[in-house]
């Protein structure tokens, strides 16, 4: 696989979802070395205030809820662990999703510069959607709609009667990609950023910088973003060496914690 096929430009605006600092403060303790490194990393990223926007979960949830209420859905389908967490956070705030089912889907590099959607659970996607046709109301929930490929794949796989009763939700995404999902069913997004993907606007999770879950490749272990240093250089051109060093240190610390 040619990694050059996945080269990243420097986006005009980069959104970083902070899913690290609170998690590590809760899990390892606010005074732990891991939590301190996470705070230092996010502070460093936010220093480029003209280009980098750090997003918090609570603020994005509030932006979704502010767009209007909904009666509780009969079932919410969370795309992967991230979508499940978003559905739970929205339910805690607004009470929309009393029943959440995780759907195991993710995006994987195809080795030719593109991506494909692959399952992360046993069985095909359609088997994960058994019983959907009779659902009185259905929500599809994810954290980010970047290309929209994963969400569109899931919604397109729904039985037509269920799709007519479906609404999608995400915390953030590219406005053009969100609009494409909107051709399949209504969608509510907390942050909808205009512009071209990658060149004008990009989104990353802070956890992806240091955890080996961010970059999925066929037949190979997943990578963290820091393991593609050219991406770090493109995203954070003024501070890439500092960012990379912090990512390497924090990743090693987290690996040591999980193995110990």
The per-residue pLDDT for range 88-124, each reduced to its tens digit, is 999 999 999 999 999 999 999 998 999 999 988 877 7
- pLDDT above 50: residue 195: yes
Distance of alpha carbon 188 from alpha carbon 170, whole angstroms: 6
Taking residues 25-52, what's their average pLDDT?
Answer: 95
Determine contact, residues 81/89, Cβ cutoff 8 Å: no
pLDDT at 237 (0 to 100): 96
Q: Which two tokens stand for residue 27?
A: 């899990």
Determine contact, residues 118/109, Cβ cutoff 8 Å: no
**C-alpha distances in Å from residue 130, one per residue of 98, 144, 159, 228:** 19, 25, 9, 39
pLDDT at 132 (0 to 100): 84
Question: Buried (b) or exposed (e) across 89-126, using 16+ Cβ within 10 A?
Answer: bbbeeeebbeebebbebbbbbebeeebebbeeeeeebe
- pLDDT above 90: residue 127: no
Fold held by 58-191: Rossmann fold (3.40.50)
Which stretches within 15-165 are classed as H helix? 21-28, 33-46, 57-65, 80-94, 125-128, 149-157, 160-163
Distance of alpha carbon 255 from alpha carbon 211, whole angstroms: 9
Percent of the chain with pLDDT over 70: 97
Query: Which one, of 37, 25, 29, 4, lies nearest residue 243 by Cα?
Result: 37
Domain boundaries, the chain: 3-56+196-259, 58-191
**C-alpha distances in Å from residue 195, one per residue of 36, 145, 174, 177:** 34, 14, 7, 10
pLDDT at 257 (0 to 100): 62
Mean model confidence pLDDT for the chain:
94
The per-residue pLDDT for range 152-189, each reduced to its tens digit, is 999 999 999 999 999 999 999 999 999 999 999 999 99
Percent of the chain with pLDDT over 90: 88
Q: Who wins on pLDDT, 85 or 121?
A: 85
Query: Half-sphere exposure of 79 toward its Cβ, with a 13 Å CA cutoff?
Result: 24
pLDDT at 259 (0 to 100): 42
Taking residues 13-31, what's their average pLDDT?
Answer: 95
- pLDDT above 90: residue 151: yes
């Amino acid at each position: 696989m040619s990694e050059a096929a996945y080269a990243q430009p420097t986006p005009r605006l980069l959104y970083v979802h902070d899913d690290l600092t609170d998690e590590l403060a809760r899990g390892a303790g606010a005074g732990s070395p891991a939590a301190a490194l996470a705070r230092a990393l996010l502070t460093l990223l936010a220093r480029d205030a003209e280009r980098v926007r750090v997003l918090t979960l609570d603020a994005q949830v509030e932006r979704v809820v502010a767009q209007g209420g909904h009666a509780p859905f009969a079932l919410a389908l969370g795309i992967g662990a991230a979508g499940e967490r978003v559905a739970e956070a929205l339910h805690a705030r607004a009470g929309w999703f009393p029943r959440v089912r995780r759907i195991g889907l993710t995006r994987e590099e195809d080795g030719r510069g593109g991506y494909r959607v692959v399952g992360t659970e046993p069985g095909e996607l359609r088997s994960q959607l058994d019983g959907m046709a009779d659902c009185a109301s259905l929500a599809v929930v994810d954290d980010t709609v970047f290309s929209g490929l994963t969400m569109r794949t899931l919604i397109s796989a729904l039985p037509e009667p269920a799709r007519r009763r479906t609404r999608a939700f995400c915390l953030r995404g590219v406005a053009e990609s969100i609009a494409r999902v909107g051709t399949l069913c209504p969608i509510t997004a907390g942050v909808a950023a205009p512009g071209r993907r990658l060149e004008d606007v990009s989104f990353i999770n802070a956890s992806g910088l240091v955890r080996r879950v961010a970059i999925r490749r066929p037949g190979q272990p997943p990578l963290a973003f820091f393991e593609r240093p050219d991406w770090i250089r493109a995203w954070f051109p003024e501070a890439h060496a500092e960012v990379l060093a912090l990512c390497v240190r924090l990743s090693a610390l987290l690996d040591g914690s999980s193995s110990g």
